[in-house]
Amino acid sequence: MSHSPKVVLVTGASGGFGDVLARKLAREGFHVYGTMRAPSAAAAELPFTMLPMEISDLASIDACVRAVLEREGRIDAVVNCVNQMVIGSVEEQTVDEVRAVYETNVFGVLAVCQRVLPVFREQRAGTIVNMSSLGGLFAVPHMSAYTSAKFALEALTEALYHELRGEPIDVVIMQPVAMRMDRPALGSHLNTVAGVGPDSRSQRMVEQMAADTAASTLTPEAVAAKVHAVLLAESKPLRVPMGRARPMSLLKRLAPQAVVDKMIGALLPD
């Protein structure tokens, strides 16, 4: 029988979904370690331990993992919630702006996975949960940096899943749609690239995304509850689509391109 996850590392727990998840798991009795660049800036009273981690720095990732192992002697699961998004067309964005998204959403997550795999293999148990999104299913115009990074994350995670088959290590991709969160409508999660002008369609996409997020029926608490259930499950699926991602993942696999084109067109602002 597999060891139920008890010690969990949640990367990107300084706010947003990562914070909600870390609090949820702590309430459920997990020993939770969250990460952020500067833990001194964290809220004074947290129900979990916050550790420093710079996701683009391999030494920082290594130090964070070692700190958890020194305190607990094991890590049962890692949930990668680190996430960066920028909005802008392919022509508006610079290579450096796209590279920065990949540094967090792809290379940073990859580095965390590589660091914990030897720990899991030695323990003969462990779970990796990578947070994708609807952006991992569809290439959305004006969001090519974010959606292409999520495509890459999905491919890396699925490849890892196949590489580890037969070993006592689980790999899961969570696919929620935009979550309704209590934060400013046009907050820091909806950044545009520097080349976006005030009349750009990309700017209108920001406003539309803010409205869509505010109208979402999926809450971070519901997604956190699903992650909690996955961590406790004896048999874990590769992908866990949530909300509209369920029918849309089926549509992506089965619908003709013309139908997909029409659906993507409906996402674009006027």
- Provide the mean pLDDT of the chain: 89
Q: What is the pLDDT of residue 188?
A: 53
Check whether 5 has a pLDDT greater than 80. no
- Smallest CA-to-CA distance from 207 within 230, 227, 184, 223 is with 184
Rounded mean pLDDT, 47-54: 96
Mean pLDDT of 218-229: 95
| Catalytic annotation present for 150 | yes
Q: Quick one: average pLDDT of 245-268?
A: 73
CA 205, CA 92: separation in Å to the nearest integer?
A: 14
> Are 221 and 181 in contact, with CB atoms under 8 Å apart?
no
User: Could you give phi then psi for residue 143, rounded to 5 degrees?
Assistant: -135, 35
Is a pLDDT exceeding 70 seen at residue 177? yes
Tell me what the mean pLDDT of segment 128-137 comes to: 92
Best CATH choice for the domain 7-267 from the list 3.30.70.270, 3.40.50.460, 3.40.50.720, 3.40.47.10: 3.40.50.720
Given a cut of 90, whether residue 99 has pLDDT beyond it is yes
Name, in order, each residue with C-beta under 8 angstroms of 189's C-beta and a sequence gap of 6 or more: 16, 85, 183
User: Pick the catalytic residue: 33, 133, 146, 161?
Assistant: 146
60 is annotated as an active-site residue: no
For residue 16 the two structure tokens come to 């947003």
Question: Of 132, 148, 200, 202, which one is the catalytic site residue?
Answer: 132
From 133, 150, 161, 200, active-site residue? 150
Span 45-60, average pLDDT: 95
What is the mean pLDDT of the segment spanning 239-251?
77
161 is a catalytic site residue: no
Among the ranges given (102-106, 176-180, 216-220), the one the predictor scored with the smallest mean pLDDT: 176-180
Catalytic residue among 14, 133, 148, 200: 14
Residue with the larger pLDDT of the pair 252 and 148: 148
Q: How do the domains of the chain map onto residue ranges?
A: 7-267
Does residue 200 carry a catalytic annotation? Answer: no
